[in-house]
Chains A and B, each alone.
Chain A
Amino acid sequence: MSGRRLLLFAPMGLLIAAFTLSVAGLLWSSLSHGGPALYAELLMDAGIQRVLWRTVWIAVVTTAISALLGYPLALFLARSPNRNLWLILVISPWLVSIVVRTFGWMVLLGNRGVINNALRNWGLLDAPIRMLFTPTAVLIGLVHVFLPFMVIAILSSLLMQDRKLEEAGRILGGTRWQTFTRVTLPLSMPGVIGGCSLVLLMATGAIVTPLLLGGLRDRMLGTQIYSEIFQIYNFDRATAMAVLLLVTALVLVAPLRLLEARIRHRLEGV
């Protein structure tokens, strides 16, 4: 690197250093303060095992639902002549703070929330249905929070596609459905998988949505870490759990990343 280039890169270098320091510090302090004994203790703890398991299944289900809902929406956006208008409806909620969006679901799902009130007013219910503080509420909240990420990821790979390929599929005798399953869908897989790994990663580490919609009983790893620090004041345990979270996220995402790399390699030869 030349001197000028190094100078230009320096500010970004500082940010990379700050990030590296955080990750390295996390790993170092979890090993030096707690060490393997602390990890063993954590992993043997039935409560933590439940939290870990809940974290994994909620993250995976959130990802699957987001992909299943996100694909049709992305396809619709890709084909719509009014794409820009619709994009505003996807991007605006996406950029609003997670707290605010989660708050919206609290208002909707609460015992005296919008849905229960409406059902009662229509005479469909006597007692409110318990929706807030359930895993379902967490799932709804997380899908709402992460769906735009999935849509944007899939949309970008759909828009990258040459529409002529679809026309080629049709002129070669494919029905609309065959052309979709054999041309459009395979070509958009990098976007689907990229979106999935992003959502999986973020859902695994979510704190705010599970805390506010899931309450204190149905904890995920992120919420567990948060209360470990701010309610129990056990920094070492929180650190070890953060490493556990990091490893869980990487283990979950790794196969997707490998798959994405392989598909890209096949499609683009890179």
Chain B
Amino acid sequence: MPTGFPTRALAILLLILLPAPLVIVVGASFSPRALLEFPPPGFSWRWYLEFLSTPAWLTAFGVSAAIALASAVLTTLAALGAALALQDAPSRLRAAAETAILAPLLFPHAALGIGFLGWLILAEMNGTGWGILIAHLVLCAPFAYRPIAVSLAQIDRSLPEAATILGAGPGQTFWRITLPLLQPGIAASLLFGFIISFDEVTVSMFLVGPEVTTLPVTIYARLNDSADPVVAAISSILILLTAGLVLLMDRLVGLRIFVDVEEEGRRPAA
């Protein structure tokens, strides 16, 4: 299957089909009528205004954003600590710890949702933002750890040594050399964490409650009843937000990190 015509044709078809449903959602969101139609019969901001004037939607958006922000920052700090702790660890210890960190990737999310629900009920944290946050932290941890560990491994070991021989103590070496060089990994970890938490639905749908729910779960609940253009409007906001973050990632780090992290991530688990 060298990249001859059939391969290229199929690839380009897929590259059109992958974003197609999203383009249609965005298009349908501008419909002035109450029916989902594509192409939309006209243009209006009606459904966006409805989203902005419905407190329940705005609250769900706020909850999701807050949880996503907290997940991104906290998992990045945890991953940074773990990566530094494991950097010089004996290889067996390191392999064991990495398997544990990456383990949530190997479990079906439906089963994980039930697992979290079980002990969160006992801890009386089901249906709270804290319960959802804990689950999101666990789910984001592998995605935070991998880019930071990859970045750390890419730092030439002689650089901290060079800083030391030029007179830097361990703290100065960390702040002046290691941390600045980890920037791509940290940026990727923050963006990964935010996006994954903000979009998460499969596990969250087990953990939300009458008082606290996230935006994707609210969208899901609404879709179960009726698919109307207000959902399309909210979905469009999510799509644009995600696309914006992807472009930001491209600027800051380069999209190649998604690919590099993938290879690195499968290695220890293999």
Contacts and interface: CB of A to CB of B under 8 A. Distances in A.
Given A103-B235, A110-B227, A194-B266, A8 B21 contact: no
B205 A226 contact: yes
Contact of A96 (B118, B231, B239): B239
B153 interface: no
B103 to A, nearest CB: 6
A87 B258 CA distance: 10
Contact of A245 (B110, B199, B246): B110
Contacts of B138: 15, 18-19, 22
Contact of A246 (B75, B111, B227): B111
Report the contact-size class of chain B (Cβ under 8 Å from the partner): 35 or more
A96 B199 CA distance: 7
Interface in A217-250: 221-222, 225-226, 229, 238-239, 242-243, 245-246, 249
Interface string B98-126: 00110111111111111111110000000
A108 B93 CA distance: 50
A22 B224 contact: no
B66 interface: no
A21 B122 CA distance: 12
B141 A15 contact: yes
Interface in B124-167: 134, 137-138, 141, 145
A63 to B, nearest CB: 14
A170 B11 CA distance: 24
Contacts of B18: 89-90, 93, 144, 147-148
A67 to B, nearest CB: 12
A183 to B, nearest CB: 11
A157 B216 CA distance: 33
A121 to B, nearest CB: 11
B81 interface: yes
Contacts of B201: 97-99, 208
A205 B106 CA distance: 11
Interface in A84-98: 84, 86-93, 95-98
Which residue of A73, A99, A179, A246 has the most chain B CB atoms within 10 A of its CB atom?
A99
Q: How many A residues touch the partner, as a band?
A: 35 or more
A187 to B, nearest CB: 13
Nearest to B192: A95
Contact of B24 (A25, A104, A112): A104
B111 A107 contact: no
B227 A103 contact: yes
Contacts of A105: 21
Contacts of A204: 108
B257 to A, nearest CB: 10
Contact of A76 (B11, B103, B104): B11
Interface stretch (A36-44, A45-53, A122-130, A257-265): A257-265
A88 B255 contact: yes
B178 to A, nearest CB: 13
A101 interface: yes
A107 B255 contact: no
Contacts of B19: 89, 92-93
Contacts of A113: 36
A242 B115 contact: yes
A156 B259 contact: yes
A243 B111 contact: yes
Nearest to B170: A4
B219 A99 contact: yes
Given A8-B84, A10-B81, 20 more contacts: A1-B85, A5-B89, A12-B82, A26-B118, A72-B1, A75-B11, A76-B7, A92-B242, A97-B199, A100-B199, A107-B28, A107-B227, A110-B36, A144-B21, A147-B14, A177-B2, A239-B118, A242-B110, A242-B114, A245-B111
12 contacts: A72-B7, A72-B11, A76-B7, A87-B258, A99-B235, A110-B227, A206-B110, A207-B113, A211-B220, A239-B114, A242-B115, A243-B111
Minimum-distance CB pairs A-B, first 9: A205-B108, A104-B21, A22-B115, A76-B11, A97-B199, A12-B82, A222-B110, A11-B78, A8-B85
Interface of A: 1, 5-12, 14-16, 18-19, 21-23, 25-26, 29, 69, 71-73, 75-77, 79, 84, 86-93, 95-108, 110, 112-114, 117, 144, 147-148, 152-153, 155-157, 159-160, 176-177, 179-180, 185, 190-191, 194, 198, 201-202, 204-208, 211-212, 221-222, 225-226, 229, 238-239, 242-243, 245-246, 249, 253, 257, 260-261, 264
